[in-house]
Structure 1
Amino acid sequence: MKIASGIVRFHVWQALLFGAPVVGPVVLAGTFGAALTACADENDPATWAKRLEDPAQRSTAAKRMAQFFQDSLTKNNNNREAPEVKKVLDAVVEPLTKVYVAGGLDEKTRKDLMKGLADMGDPRASAAFAKAFTDYEPGKNDEDVKFSAQAVQRMVSGKKTPDQTLVDALWTCFSKFQMSKAKSINLVTDLHDAILEVKSPSYGPKAVEKLAAPVQDSVDSQKDQIHFWQKISIRVIKELKFAPAAKPLVKVLLDPRKAELRGTVQAALMVMPKEAEDALLAALKGTDAELAKLTAEVPDKVGVAILADTLSWISRSAGKDALLAALDQADSDTNRVVIAQSLTRFPPDQRTKDALLKTYTKIPAGTRLKTPGDPLARPVLVQVAAAFYDPAMTEWALKEVAASKGDEGASMIAFGLEAAVKLMTKDQLTKVGEVVSKSWSAKEQEIYKAAATIVTACDKDAACYVKKLGEPIASGDGVGMWRAVKAARMAAMFGKDDTKQALLASVDKVKEAGARLAVVEAIDYLCPKGDAQAAAALDKIVAADVASGNKNLIAGDDAVVKVANRLRARAL
Structure 2
Amino acid sequence: MIRSVRRITPLLSSLLLGVAAVSSVTVVAGTLVGCADENDPSTWVKRLDNPATTPAAVNRLVQFFEDAMTRDNKDRNGPTVKPLLDKIIEPLTQKCVAGDLDERTNSKLIKFISDTRDPRGAPCLIKALKDYRPDSTEEDVRWACRAIGAMKLKEAAGPLFETFQKVRTSKPKAGAMYRDVYDAMKQVNDPSWEPQLITIISRPINDPKDIPNLRDELFWQITSAELLGLQKSEKAVEPLLKMLLSPNKSQGHMTAMLALVKIGKPAVQPVIDLLQGNSKELIEYSKIEQLKSAGDKPTNEQKKAAETAHISQSALILGTIGRADSAAPLLAALGKSTDDAAKAIIARELSKVPKSQQTVEAFQQTYEKLPLNTAIPPGIGARETLLEASGTFFDASFVPWIVKTALEAKGEEADVAPIRDVSLATAMKLMGPDQVAEVDKLYNKAQTGADGKPSTVGKAFEKEYTMAKALLGECKADPECYLTKVSDSANQQKDTQFKGIKAAYMMGIYGKPELRQKIIDAMPKITNAAVRFVSVTAIDQLSPQGDADIAQKLQAIVDEAEEKRNEEMISANAPFKTVIYRLNARAQ
Q: TM-score, normalised by structure 2?
A: 0.83
Q: Contact conserved, 1:401 with 1:413, CA < 8 A, in 2?
A: yes
Q: Distance in 2 between matches of 1:366 and 1:128?
A: 63
Ranked by relative contact order (alpha carbons within 8 Å, sequence separation 6 or more), the top structure is 2
Match in the other structure for 2:230? 239
Query: Superposed, which structure 2 residues align to 1:74-153 within 5 Å?
Result: 74-153=70-149
Cα–Cα, structure 1 residues 29 and 291, in superposed 2: closer, same or farther, change >3 Å?
farther
Q: Does 1:553 pair with 2:544? A: no
Match in the other structure for 1:191? 181
- Report the CA distance between 1:31 and its aligned residue: 6.5
Partner AA of 2:326 in structure 1:
G
Match in the other structure for 1:55? 51
Range 439-448 or range 501-510, more displaced? 501-510
Q: Distance in 2 between matches of 1:268 and 1:465?
A: 34
Range 307-316 or range 117-126, more displaced? 117-126
Q: Distance in 2 between matches of 1:117 and 1:505?
A: 37
| Equivalent of 1:522 in 534, 538, 545 | 538
- Report the CA distance between 1:257 and its aligned residue: 1.2
| Equivalent of 2:551 in 522, 526, 535 | 535
Q: Distance in 2 between matches of 1:43 and 1:266?
A: 57
Q: Secondary structure at the match of 1:148?
A: helix
| Equivalent of 2:158 in 156, 161, 168 | 168
Identical aligned pairs, as a percentage?
31
| Equivalent of 2:329 in 319, 322, 326 | 322
Partner AA of 1:320 in structure 2:
A
Match in the other structure for 1:280? 271
* Aligned length in residues: 548
Q: Distance in 2 between matches of 1:118 and 1:418?
A: 52
Partner AA of 1:232 in structure 2:
T
Cα–Cα, structure 1 residues 443 and 170, in superposed 2: closer, same or farther, change >3 Å?
same
Partner AA of 1:493 in structure 2:
I
Q: Secondary structure at the match of 2:439?
A: helix
- Report the CA distance between 1:432 and its aligned residue: 1.8
Q: Distance in 1 between matches of 2:485 and 2:313?
A: 38
Q: Does 1:220 pair with 2:216? A: no
| Equivalent of 2:38 in 38, 42, 54 | 42
Q: Distance in 1 between matches of 2:468 and 2:572?
A: 22
Cα–Cα, structure 1 residues 245 and 187, in superposed 2: closer, same or farther, change >3 Å?
same
- Report the CA distance between 1:163 and its aligned residue: 4.7
The unaligned stretches of length 5 or more in structure 1 are 1-13
- Report the CA distance between 1:541 and its aligned residue: 4.2
Q: Distance in 1 between matches of 2:40 and 2:82?
A: 14
Q: Distance in 2 between matches of 1:367 and 1:68?
A: 69
- Report the CA distance between 1:548 and its aligned residue: 6.1
Let me know the Cα RMSD of the aligned residues: 3.2
Cα–Cα, structure 1 residues 505 and 145, in superposed 2: closer, same or farther, change >3 Å?
closer
- Report the CA distance between 1:450 and its aligned residue: 1.6
Q: Contact conserved, 1:531 with 1:568, CA < 8 A, in 2?
A: yes
Q: Distance in 2 between matches of 1:250 and 1:263?
A: 12
Cα–Cα, structure 1 residues 56 and 293, in superposed 2: closer, same or farther, change >3 Å?
same
1:228-265, CA deviations, whole angstroms, 9 ceiling, x for partnerless residues? Answer: 21122223223333343222222211121111011112
- Report the CA distance between 1:151 and its aligned residue: 2.8
Match in the other structure for 1:6? none
Range 30-39 or range 71-80, more displaced? 30-39
Match in the other structure for 2:4? none
1:104-146, CA deviations, whole angstroms, 9 ceiling, x for partnerless residues? Answer: 4332232233233333332222222212211211123222222
1:498-551, CA deviations, whole angstroms, 9 ceiling, x for partnerless residues? Answer: 555655555554332322333333333333333344434434444455566554
| Equivalent of 1:482 in 498, 508, 528 | 498
- Report the CA distance between 1:276 and its aligned residue: 2.1
Query: Superposed, which structure 2 residues align to 1:335-484 within 5 Å?
Result: 335-369=342-376, 371-372=377-378, 374-402=379-407, 403-404=409-410, 405-437=412-444, 438=446, 439-440=456-457, 442=459, 444-478=461-495, 480-484=496-500
Match in the other structure for 1:267? 258
Q: Distance in 2 between matches of 1:146 and 1:66?
A: 19
Q: Contact conserved, 2:138 with 2:176, CA < 8 A, in 1?
A: no
- Report the CA distance between 1:312 and its aligned residue: 0.8
Partner AA of 1:213 in structure 2:
R
Q: Distance in 2 between matches of 1:89 and 1:120?
A: 8
| Equivalent of 2:194 in 193, 204, 208 | 204
Match in the other structure for 1:307? 314
Match in the other structure for 1:291? 282
- Report the CA distance between 1:341 and its aligned residue: 0.6
Q: Contact conserved, 1:507 with 1:520, CA < 8 A, in 2?
A: no
Q: Secondary structure at the match of 2:344?
A: helix
Q: Contact conserved, 2:483 with 2:519, CA < 8 A, in 1?
A: yes
1:158-210, CA deviations, whole angstroms, 9 ceiling, x for partnerless residues? Answer: xxx5251x221111111122122241523222222222222333333332232
Q: Distance in 2 between matches of 1:43 and 1:322?
A: 74
Cα–Cα, structure 1 residues 490 and 476, in superposed 2: closer, same or farther, change >3 Å?
closer
Q: Contact conserved, 2:262 with 2:582, CA < 8 A, in 1?
A: no
Q: Secondary structure at the match of 1:138?
A: coil
Partner AA of 1:449 in structure 2:
T
- Report the CA distance between 1:28 and its aligned residue: 6.8
Q: Distance in 2 between matches of 1:456 and 1:475?
A: 20
Q: Distance in 1 between matches of 2:98 and 2:580?
A: 50
Q: Secondary structure at the match of 2:52?
A: helix
Q: Secondary structure at the match of 2:543?
A: coil
- Report the CA distance between 1:388 and its aligned residue: 3.2
